[in-house]
Amino acid sequence: MKVKTFTKVILTLVLGFCFLQKPAVQAAVANDAAQFTISPVYPREQRPDTTGYFALKTRPKTTVPVKVKITNLNSDTDVDYIVRVGNATTTDNGAINYTDFKTKKDPTAAFQLTQFVPKKERTQQVTVAAHKSTTVSINLRLPRQKFNGTIAGGIYVERMTNAHVDTKSKLSAQNHFAMTLPVLVSQQKHPDQVAQMKLKAVKVQKGPKISATLRNTRPVLFGKLKINAQITKQGQTKVLAQRQVQNYQVAPNSTFNFLVTDHNQLGAGKYTLTLHLQSGKRKWNLRQNFTITGSQGVPFTKQKGWLGLSQLIWLLIGFLVLLIVILCGIIIAQNKRLSKKNK
């Protein structure tokens, strides 16, 4: 019997930039199980106050050699590695993915990191001898056009699949190990730190599942983002659904979907989503109206009311109470008539 188990170790150096926060990084990325390490070989464009990742101050129309040293810690086996260059995006969970290979360039971005890399260098394969090191080179070719802020991405190194079969259990295991070094490219001594968050759209799916599409329209990377989302009926102030998060990180010129709620009692109708965002001294207050259709919202009969009971039960209780009151009224009226006749 064959069972494939996939264990992917992504060791990304997360950079939580904001006014009062410096990125926590290390000089090399390593993992005992992966049996290899990667470390940056800095070009002269490396900013002197940063280590452990590439933070490059560049000039237009120049070529910057970015090199990664791969060390094979396996003392017996030569190992193949694949090296890829990706762009930085923001995940829906509020983390920065420095090696996104699929997302197209955001409309608000002037460039993506992969635009600076020759196509043949965006994906490379290299074999590293046992207990040896190899350096992989990637050339960043900067355009003539100047750009503001920071362009972010990363270099992703994955050990090619090493499979083995346990002779006792006859289980086949495949382990995937990968590591990432962030790459930040800018042209100013002090890159722009003025971010701008916008509410692009409110998405409503059956459930109803409600999410906000948020976009950072500036080439600024920042972290420690707090989000407070509230849903009210249009024109009212009573909060019907709410979600709060903190420590989100946002990549430059990126878009992500923030899930406001996927478990609520909102029926069909018109609503307002209000978002309060804060990162250090940065603050944004965003608002947008949206509509939940009959097919998207919770049916009235399934909506919960007082004491957690469904609206249908309360409707039946109300009907029974009204019926009892009417019957009592009829009985009292009849008793009064009988009393008058007897007199």
Which pLDDT does position 325 carry in this prediction? 85
- The Cα 259–Cα 256 span in angstroms is 10
Give the H or E element holding residue 121.
helix 119-122
Which residues in the chain show pLDDT less than 50?
A: 1-27, 163-167, 169-173, 300-301, 305-308
**Tokens 């188990």 sit on residue:** 5
Burial class (CB in 10 A: 0-12, 13-18, 19+), 83: buried
Intrachain domains 6-186 and 197-298 with the same fold: yes
8 Å CB contact between 104 and 162: no
Write down the domain spans for the chain.
Answer: 6-186, 197-298, 305-342
Closest residue by Cα to residue 36 from 176, 177, 138 = 177
pTM for this model (two decimals): 0.76
Give the H or E element holding residue 304.
none
Q: Which distant-in-sequence residues (6+ apart) come within 8 Å of 187 by Cβ?
A: 57, 58, 59, 60, 146, 147, 148
Per-residue DSSP letter, 18 = B
Topology (CATH level 3) of domain 6-186: Immunoglobulin-like (2.60.40)
**Tokens 């008793």 sit on residue:** 335
Topology (CATH level 3) of domain 197-298: Immunoglobulin-like (2.60.40)
Query: Distance between alpha carbon 237 and the CA centroid of its chain, in Å?
Result: 29
Which pLDDT does position 13 carry in this prediction? 37
Q: Which distant-in-sequence residues (6+ apart) come within 8 Å of 209 by Cβ?
A: 259, 261, 262
**Tokens 């002269």 sit on residue:** 44
Dihedrals phi, psi of 39, to nearest 5 degrees: -145, 145
8 Å CB contact between 266 and 304: no
